[in-house]
Amino acid sequence: MIREYVESSMITSFGFDPSISTLEIEFKSGVVWQYFDVPDSVYYEMKSAASFGKFFHANIKGQYAESQVG
């Protein structure tokens, strides 16, 4: 999955595959997680968020099935 690098103290990059509704996030620790059944709108809201970390905690963490992939 292609991820976009971002300026964040918590997140290195993130990307989205709309064909499978999967959001992939690479954290500063180097760990990569995938979040499943994420609506396109959540991805676009995250892209425009003032703080990626705050958006992640408020809208993604604990809201979707997840799997560590790297």
CA 13/CA 5 separation, integer angstroms: 4
Indicate the number of domains in the chain: 1
In this predicted structure, what is the pLDDT of residue 67?
Answer: 98
Model pLDDT for residues 38-58, shown as the tens digit of each residue: 999 999 999 999 999 999 999
Residues 24 and 19: their CA atoms lie apart, in Å, by: 13
Residue 47 near residue 9, CB atoms below 8 Å: no
Given a cut of 80, whether residue 70 has pLDDT beyond it is: no
Q: Which domain holds residue 56?
A: 4-68
Specify the pLDDT at position 33: 98
pLDDT value for 1: 86
pLDDT digits (tens, 9 = 90+) for 7-35: 999 999 999 999 999 999 999 999 999 99
| Token reading at 30 | 């180097």
The model's pTM = 0.95
Q: Is there a contact between 31 and 70 (Cβ–Cβ < 8 Å)?
A: yes
